[in-house]
Structure 1
Amino acid sequence: MQFLGKKRPAPASTERGRQAEDRAWAYLQAQGLRLLQRNYRTPGRGGGEIDLICQAPDGTVVFVEVRSRSSNAFGGAAASIGAAKRARIVFAARHWWLRHGGDRPSRFDVVTVQGQQVQWLPAAFDAA
């Protein structure tokens, strides 16, 4: 689509992230997961955020990080989740459990959206 004689500008980073989350959720839903919460954030500065919190058919609570990249340069989408990011996700998951209680099993999954490809990495990392 043309925009004043030029290519239309790419969507802002937050919009691209939302689009990637939408695609990831559609994929997970087709795999039988049920959405519990989207974009859960801990209060205050420096906390964590979880893109999708789902429930698997077996009752497992699944904390999902969605990563999107346009190419495999610099290791691709999955390689962009470093130790600090994992720690913030685990922190947010613990906070979510404190607010929602329960003793169901849980795991940390990653869904990568790279170009037109969606890849689901169940149990991509643990809380340790």
Structure 2
Amino acid sequence: RRRGYRILARNVRAGGVELDLIVRRGRDLAFVEVKTRSSQRTGLPELAVDFKKQRRLTQGAEAWLRAHRHIGLRPRFDVIACEVSGFKTSQEQWSLRHFKNAFEACETGPSF
């Protein structure tokens, strides 16, 4: 909100897919995937949004747009990567990275 975004939905299901955040600023409509890691053993959080996840997010976004008819807006896909160190201690520190236009909408139809 501090950056001028209006939250339209949180943790909403559309097309069988959970969408973490749907936000709007002006004519921009962002479908935001939030990934959090407390350890880098499993890799950077943003790398968890692989092609398979991108396809599912695209499917969910398409279903949400069909149901809500936000005409004239520019949809995009963002990723917010959260890393926390010292989890559940007095030394807990958070790091956030916001990747705007992190990926393009994927083809969601059947692949032959």
Question: Offset at 1:33?
Answer: 0.6
Structure 1 runs, 4 residues or longer, greater than 3 Å off: none
Q: Structure 2: how far apart are the matches of 1:30 and 1:107?
A: 19
1:66-121 CA-to-partner distances (Å, cap 9, x unmatched) read: 00001222321011111111111100100011001123111100001101101111
Aligned residues: 96
- Alignment-derived partner of residue 4 in structure 1: none
State the identity as a percent. 32
- Alignment-derived partner of residue 108 in structure 1: 77
Question: Offset at 1:40?
Answer: 1.6
More helix by percentage: 1
**Structure 2 unaligned blocks of 5 or more:** 85-93, 107-112
Pairwise CA RMSD: 1.2
Q: Structure 1: how far apart are the matches of 2:42 and 2:7?
A: 31
Question: Offset at 1:53?
Answer: 0.2
TM-score by length of 2: 0.80
Question: Offset at 1:31?
Answer: 1.2
**Structure 1 unaligned blocks of 5 or more:** 1-28
Other structure's SS at 1:32 match = coil
More strand by percentage: 2
TM-score by length of 1: 0.70
Q: How does 1:1-128 map to 2 (within 5 A)?
A: 29-42=1-14, 47-56=16-25, 58-101=26-69, 102-115=71-84, 116-128=94-106
Question: Offset at 1:42?
Answer: 2.2
Question: Offset at 1:48?
Answer: 1.3
Q: Structure 2: how far apart are the matches of 1:31 and 1:84?
A: 30
Q: Structure 2: how far apart are the matches of 1:50 and 1:103?
A: 21
Equivalent AA in structure 1 for residue 7 of structure 2:
L
Equivalent AA in structure 2 for residue 69 of structure 1:
R
